[in-house]
Amino acid sequence: MSTLRFTKDHEWIAAEGDVGTIGISDYAQTQLGDVVFVDLPEVGKAVARSAEIAVVESVKAASEIYAPVTGEVIEVNGALDGAPATVNEDPQGRGWFLKMKLAKPAELDELMTEQQYKDFLAMLA
């Protein structure tokens, strides 16, 4: 079973063992509008928590995506190259950005649970 956690910057991570799948939340894709391009990192890139790992361009703006945890990129979602709108259609499913090997799994405990994230979004409304 995966552990789903969120950041205040609206990234999510679903961790299974020492691998985390990362993307942006439904709230984030709604705020961005129609996604037209996703710039993903190279496989093998080491990333520190809170460092920029990707860029999403929409019809409104370009936004940086930050690493919710420390780790190494082990896979990117190449399907987004030809279909960036998948981020809008299924942000927490087929619209995932990358997978990381977690260097510090304990960092997950510092992120928001799904309920905490819903409460956080309610405060933004």
Q: What is the structure's pLDDT at 76? A: 98
> Whole-model pTM?
0.95
Alpha-carbon span 18 to 71, nearest angstrom: 10
Main-chain phi, psi angles of 67, to 5 degrees: -70, 125
17-31 pLDDT, tens digit each:
999 999 999 999 999
Neighbours of 9 (CB within 10 A): 14
Task: Provide the strand spans (E) within the chain.
Answer: 3-6, 11-16, 19-24, 35-39, 46-47, 52-58, 62-66, 71-76, 98-102
Q: What is the structure's pLDDT at 125? A: 82
- Give the burial class of 74: count Cβ atoms within 10 A of its Cβ; 0-12 exposed, 13-18 middle, 19 or more buried: middle
| Domains, the chain, with CATH or none | 3-124 (2.40.50.100)
Alpha-carbon span 68 to 13, nearest angstrom: 7
> Contact 112/8 with Cβ under 8 angstroms?
yes
107-124 pLDDT, tens digit each:
999 999 999 999 999 999
